[in-house]
Amino acid sequence: MKKTNTPITHLCLLFFGVLFIISSCKKNTDTIFPSPVLESESAAQKTHTKKYSAEVAQKWLDLQLRILYLSGSNPYSLNGNRQFAYMGVALYEAVVPGMPSYQSLHGQLNAMPQMPTTKNGDEYHWPAAANTALAFLTRNFYPTASAALKTSVDSLESALNAAYAGEAGAPTYLRSTEFGKEVAQRIFNWAQADNSQTIYSGYIASTDPTKWSNTTPNPTGVVAPYWGLNRQFVSGSFNNTASPPPPMYSTDPASEYYKMVKEVYDISQTLTNEQKATALYFRDNPGYQSGTHYQYIFNQVMKDENLTLDAFAVAQAKAGIAMAEAQINCWQQKYTILLDRPTKYIRNVLGHSTWSSFLAMPGHPDYPSGHSQTGGAFAKVMTSLLGENYPITLHTYDNLGMAPRPYNSFFEMADDIGKSRVYGGIHYTYSCTEGNKQGAKIAANILNKLKFKR
């Protein structure tokens, strides 16, 4: 006899179908929120980091973004994301003793020093520790900030300390601030030895006419030619992340190189208003230069999620390390491959002698795209924390009258950022798509290698 579904069966199928849809749409927050408390805890762990809001981290990131927002030339080179990474590690290390199922990153990050230990039997106030650590690093990482911004640093630290001293009581407050300052000092010393401060001999440009050089019509300046020599954060993070090399130089109209450059020219001749708006939005001048736009996006998401202090610290450490690592890899490739920007080829080979890009041409080689590689790393981390279909609408430049930009996922956003560089005439599609992939692979390696949980 043929089996038929009863009304009850239909109801059950409908119920479980709804449950499946709800669960599939739910944000993937399992990795961002720390696991339950362990049964065996020290006194420091019993004052759990997770019981505090992320207010302290949020306020410091707000202020750091004020420092990074620039209306003119960029004095920080690529330091913005580098410092975001170190501050993320410092924030995490300043509060991780209050996260019983989590552990220090010492022994996992290259050359990272051992962190100070908490005192047995003593309680700590984790926002106070974080406040001291972030204030210390903000002062030391941005010593050339304006007098007004330096005053804001002092004022923010003092205001938060006044509140925390009242909450914690004098002994706990003092113990916590001493701990936070020692964490910050060790992280800062570690950061100063990562080769970013090294003075190298003057850059000697290639004389090969098929390669990038800092000669006209390219900009005569040279941006960060030795950034790729910086110490990596995570050993092996670059493994299996390389793309096939970009097309070999050729003037043959049938060649992939010719087609790659011609696409940039063709797009430049038919730019729509929407394409121009996209290029200008991610030009980041005025605004957050050298990829620090992602920090603003991170900040916006953290505010939307209203995380606790422990979850914020984990998120910033992961995002910061991935973006800074992607930049190191990107600059290694740029000054090794030396793929030229489009201008010289479009003028000399395609014959459009007066052609100029819609956006100002940067003073470093084309491949891979720095915005794209940083964006791929950022998108991978944020997707791992919040899910593949996390909708986000960017409000970065509402103050400039630019329309908000909605996306259905972080990777959709990263793809659009890559397209913006092609619309701007300053990158090839290949440099953007492959840069995006490389950044995502680097971030995946980091997420697999670093063990935050015990």
What is residue 329's predicted lDDT score, i.e. its pLDDT? Answer: 98
- What is the band of 74 on the pLDDT scale with cuts at 50, 70, 90? confident
What is residue 6's predicted lDDT score, i.e. its pLDDT? Answer: 44
In this structure, what is the dihedral angle of CA atoms 55, 61, 66, 69, given to the nearest 10 degrees?
Answer: -150
Scanning 169-292, the segments in alpha helix (DSSP H) are 170-192, 256-269, 273-281
* Domains of the chain listed by start with CATH number: 48-192 (1.20.144), 227-449 (1.10.606.20)
What is residue 9's predicted lDDT score, i.e. its pLDDT? Answer: 40
Q: End-to-end alpha-carbon separation of the chain, Å?
A: 57
Distance CA 43, CA 263 (A): 63
Per-residue pLDDT of 350-408, as tens digits, reads: 999 999 999 999 999 999 999 999 999 999 999 999 999 999 999 999 999 999 999 99
Q: What's the full length of the chain, in residues?
A: 454
What is residue 42's predicted lDDT score, i.e. its pLDDT? Answer: 63
Q: Which pair of tokens denotes residue 425?
A: 């005439």
Per-residue pLDDT of 119-173, as tens digits, reads: 888 999 999 999 999 999 999 999 999 999 999 999 999 999 999 999 999 999 9
Distance CA 141, CA 4 (A): 71
Among 120-124, 237-241, 265-269, 321-325, the range scoring the smallest mean pLDDT is 120-124
Which of 143, 135, 129, 140 minimizes the C-alpha distance to 188?
A: 140
Per-residue pLDDT of 401-430, as tens digits, reads: 999 999 999 999 999 999 999 999 999 999
Mean pLDDT of the chain: 92
Per-residue pLDDT of 208-228, as tens digits, reads: 999 999 999 999 999 999 999
**Residue 40 clears pLDDT 70, i.e. is over it:** no
Provide the whole-model pTM.
0.92
Distance CA 417, CA 409 (A): 13
**Residue 307 clears pLDDT 60, i.e. is over it:** yes
